[in-house]
Amino acid sequence: MKILVSVKRVIDYNVKVRVKADNSDVDLANVKMALNPFCEIAVE
């Protein structure tokens, strides 16, 4: 049996989120990304 699981990358929970200078979005430059914890459970 084959199962397809979608996986989502999110900002690592240990990283402090920074907002861009114009307050329009989150600054993703040089930010560590991790697997969504719920997706990690699904992959197992």
Only one residue has tokens 């999110």, namely: 10
Q: What is the pLDDT of residue 44?
A: 80
Cα Rg of the chain (Å, integer): 14
**Sequence ranges of the domains in the chain:** 9-43
In sequence order, which residues have a C-beta less than 8 Å from that of residue 19 and are 6 or more positions away? Answer: 25, 26, 27
pLDDT in tens, 1-44: 888 878 888 888 888 888 988 989 888 888 888 888 888 888 88
From residue 6, how far is each of 24, 31, 32, 43 by CA, in Å?
28, 22, 20, 9
Q: What is the pLDDT of residue 25?
A: 87
> pTM (2 decimals)?
0.56
CB burial of residue 28 (10 Å; 0-12, 13-18, 19+): exposed
Q: What is the pLDDT of residue 39?
A: 83
